[in-house]
Structure 1
Amino acid sequence: MVHRQYVTCALTYDLVVSWDAELTALITRIAGPLFTRPEPRQAFADLVRALLADVPRKNSWQLADHIGHATAHRFEHLLDRAKWDVDALRDEVRSHVIAHLGRADGVLIADDTSAIKKGQMSVGVADQYCGLTGQVENCQVMPMLTYASAAGHAFVNRRLYLPESWAGDPQRRARAGVPEHVAFRTKPQLVIDMLAEELAAGTPFRYLCADSGYGRDPHLCAFCHERAISYVMAVPVDLPLVAARGGVEPVGHVLDRILALGRAGVWERRSCGTGTKGLRVYDWTALAVAVAGQAPAPGHAHTLLIRRSVSAPTEVEFFLAHAPARVPVTELIDAAGMRWKIEENNEHGKDLLGLTSYQVRKWTPWHRHVTIAMLALAFLAAMRAALPADADETAGKGKDRLLLEAPAG
């Protein structure tokens, strides 16, 4: 029974009860074929409900205490020693997201998030760039894939980045339970692996979106060109373009020429979506380009989008679009504006659902915890999409804080 929720709009008792019934049905449907024994099946149900509850620190012991377990041993066994297929759960998460949020014009968004850790024992932990702080930290890096449409957005896939210092160390791999087949892969290569899985699963999407860390990678771009995948990805200022008179020039030179023209008319003010503070309005310009060494897919073309801040015109970001020829620029701008949705998933996953609050150190428990947290987020996204129109309009940002309080005992 659901007996507490955190939203900013008034919701009926019947609607709240229906959420609990939906959650029970979802857990039952997934847990049935996933587990052969009743004990891990019940622990799985308890953990999902605990992650959705208002628990201050969502580590195994506090979640166990909230749900009424004497110790965290049931959750620890579920995450480590119990026999079940975590990729089958990942597939169920994707299916649930697509069933409730799937649209032909949906987008896949790639980004990585970080978990700062102490010590050197947690699988994949190393001194590496941390997006949370913008500097090198002792952390784990997690490339994630979000599915987003007009109906909502949630994670559908995940990877743990294994630095070369880990991938080439047999002793560390053995202690952390890293499977033998897992080799070193760059973060863009991990995104390629996830994209291949989404294509095989038939995930409906029109564009791939990502930041410049992925947009600059020639292997990821080549994968998209070979498979005619449309994308709108941020790119760095030094991305090489074919110059009009031959040779190669960086993207930044294109902006220099535009600014030298001194014509205000080359910019058009447009919104690329709604953010937490309302419409996200920028000045935009676009032009057809040829990328050095990267031929687009047949029937496709490359377009460079330049986005300029209205309040601070010196703040500029570049996006490279790969899409069917004659696609409206407004569609590309809309796709560029979808990228921020994975940042919201990262924020809510961490702040509300314990995405990185785990106390596990090994490969399998990491994947299990993160995927269960993804299921919790997928459930919330589906419930948000199903909110009545009046509740949805009233809730605003607060509807993302919808949490389900599991009964004690």
Structure 2
Amino acid sequence: MDLQDGIETSESRFAAYVETLASALGHADRVAPLKAYCTGLLLPGERKSVEPMAARVEPGRVQATHQSLHHFVAKADWSDDAVLGVVREKVLPALEQRGQIRAWIVDDTGFPKKGKHSVGVARQYCGQLGKQDNCQVAVSLSVATGQASLPIAYQLYLPEDWASDPDRREKAGVPEDLIFRTKPEIALARIRTALEAGVSPGVVLADAGYGNDTSFRTGLTEIGLTYVVAVQSSIRLWSPDTQPLPPKPWSGRGRPPSLVRRQSGHAPVSAKELAQALPEDAWRRITWREGSKVPLASRFAAVRIRPAHRDYWRSAPRPEEWFLIEWPQGEVEPTKYWLSTLPEDTELADLVDQAKLRWRIERDYQELKQEIGLGHYEGRGWRGFHHHATLAIAAYGFLVSERSLIPPSAPRSAPLLKAPALPEDYRPRGAAAPSRTPRQQFHRHNPD
């Protein structure tokens, strides 16, 4: 198959993919803007906001296309969940042909903002910047095999001051029935929805912003999912072979004591203290995957413990689970900690391999932001924010499904779609001159 045949085949598959997505939109007149918007997201270009995409997709009628795309993404009343459901139904089978689902990855991502009017914007931690700053934050759930991953749910986190401000909610079009939820609460709700939809379950992976939340971990166990979640060094744990004391003996008067106890000399310790007290022979060097230059390896230990968070309000100790620690050679203290409900007979190498699979979400967000334009939406409203994200995930889903068709040893070549030539006199708004250095064409293969 030559290059031209490859492009034509991708374009025909893309047309069929969009036709399937259109079944979730409710109106036939939305099919054209759906295809145009997803095409604009996949085409090369520095900005994936509405006007630059309109110019790339329909260079001969930029203004009309701009208006159509803007209405479709910012105003049109179609269901994000319905479209993402179709994306999931189309793309996950392609992923599972190359390997079974191993993990459900929970994460959040930040979008720096300068103003204060965009929905959900507040001064909060922004992962993209690595610090507290003015930004929006969205919570996502992705499904991962050993070879690829796909976001299947996505929701903006609405800070409490936003959720309780009726004027700002109305201006931004926040749904009336939406109440304040923490990020772990949003994630758990999305996980329950995915289970109800019949998505093949995997081990839940998450960073410490979720792992430190006892209600989140408990909720996962209650719905039958195992997890490997990062925790902070300060979390309190019972050391191996220890647990809370049983309730006090009953004196014969009043209600019998029912709560477990702690006392001086018999109390939980921090994750950091427990890790530092482990003997030298508890640590092993584990390699978990090949890096771009050298194999990725570090020192790890794992022991069975019981989490201790507020267990003095419980009538029985929490069940045992794994406590996994990474302490690289040469570091003065451990660098990462996880709790896991994987089976008791799980090997250390398997614990590490599962915990480290979370790196895939970083690749997802890198491509969604840098190539697909996830963070390029310039509107301020709830609907537009989510519609743009849904379409970005839909476009990314097509890219993921196309990659699943290509052998790993195949050369990295043909771009997915061809862009029409821009008119010579086209100038983006606010630009003094057109860019003279076009962005590298987006390929079907991972640009690793």
Q: TM-score, normalised by structure 2?
A: 0.81
Give how far 1:356 is off. 0.6
Q: What residue number does 1:31 align with?
A: 22
Counterpart residue identity of residue 204, structure 1: S
Quote the residue 1:7 is aligned against.
Answer: none
| Residue 167 (structure 2) aligns with | 171
Provide the rounded CA distance (Å) in 2 between the counterparts of 1:310 and 1:170: 53
Instruction: Indicate if the aligned counterparts of 2:7 and 2:415 stay in contact, CA closer than 8 A.
Output: no
* Per-residue CA distance 1:231-275 (angstroms, 9 max, x = gap): 1111101111124554211111111212xx3x3x32222222344
Q: CA RMSD in A?
A: 2.3
Contact map agreement 1:54 1:403 (CA 8 A) in 2: no
Corresponding residue for residue 194 of structure 2: 198
Which residue of structure 2 aligns with residue 4 of structure 1? none
Once residues 32 and 192 of structure 1 are traced to their aligned partners in structure 2, the CA distance between those partners, rounded to angstroms, is: 28
- 2:305 maps to 1:289: yes
Work out the percentage of aligned pairs sharing the same amino acid: 30
1:82 aligns with 2:76: yes
Question: Is 1:16–2:35 an aligned residue pair?
Answer: no
Any idea what SS the aligned residue of 1:324 has? coil
The residue aligned with 2:446 is: none
1:266 aligned partner, one-letter code: A
Q: 1:232 to 1:271 in 2, by over 3 A?
A: same
Is 1:130 the counterpart of 2:94 in the alignment?
Answer: no
Correspondence 1:349 to 2:349:
no
Separation in structure 2 between the aligned mates of residue 406 and residue 151 of structure 1, nearest angstrom: 29
Picking from 207, 218, 225, the partner of 1:222 is: 218
**Deviation per CA, 1:39-77, whole angstroms, max 9, x where unpaired?**
x21011011011000011111110011111422111111
Q: Does 1:370 align with 2:389?
A: yes
Contact 1:301–1:324 (Cα < 8 Å) also in 2: no
Q: Which runs of structure 2 are paired with 1:231-250 in the superposition (5 Å)?
A: 231-243=227-239, 244=241, 246-250=266-270
**Which structure has the higher relative contact order (CA within 8 Å, separation 6+)?**
1
Question: 1:9-408 maps to which residues of 2 (within 5 A)?
Answer: 12-38=3-29, 40-68=30-58, 69-71=61-63, 72-102=66-96, 103-243=99-239, 244=241, 246-258=266-278, 261=279, 263=280, 265-293=281-309, 301-310=320-329, 312=331, 314=333, 316-391=335-410, 394-395=411-412, 404-407=417-420
Q: Which has the higher helix share?
A: 1
* Secondary structure of the structure 1 residue equivalent to 2:229: strand
Structure 2 stretches lacking a partner, 5+ long: 243-265, 423-448
In structure 1, the partner of 2:436 is: none
Aligned-partner residue type, residue 209 of structure 1: L
How far, CA to CA, are the matches of 2:5 and 2:299 in structure 1? Answer: 46
Moved more, 379-388 or 95-104: 95-104
Distance in 2, Cα, partners of 1:329 & 1:283: 11
1:388 Cα deviation (Å)? 2.3
Q: Which residue of 2 is the match for residue 6 of structure 1? A: none
Larger Rg: 2
Distance apart, 1:177 and its partner CA: 0.6
Shift in Å, 1:308: 2.2
Structure 1 runs not aligned, ≥5 long:
1-9
CA distance in 2, matches of 1:328, 1:202: 29
Contact 2:24/2:82 (CA < 8 Å) preserved in 1? no
CA distance in 2, matches of 1:389, 1:355: 26
Task: Tell me if the contact between 1:192 and 1:220 (Cα under 8 Å) persists in the aligned partners.
Answer: yes
1:348 CA displacement: 0.8
- SS in structure 1 at match of 2:342: strand
Q: 1:46 to 1:371 in 2, by over 3 A?
A: same
Which letter maps to 2:300?
A: W
Q: Separation in 1 of the partners of 2:14 and 2:41?
A: 12
Deviation at 1:105, TM superposition (A): 4.1
Q: Which has the higher strand share?
A: 1
Query: Quick check: 1:50–1:405 contact (8 Å CA) kept in 2?
Result: no
SS of the residue corresponding to residue 66 of structure 1 reads helix
Matched residue pairs, number? 386
Distance verdict in 2 for CA 1:320–1:214, change over 3 Å: same
Aligned residues of 1:272 and 1:336 also touching (Cα < 8 A): no
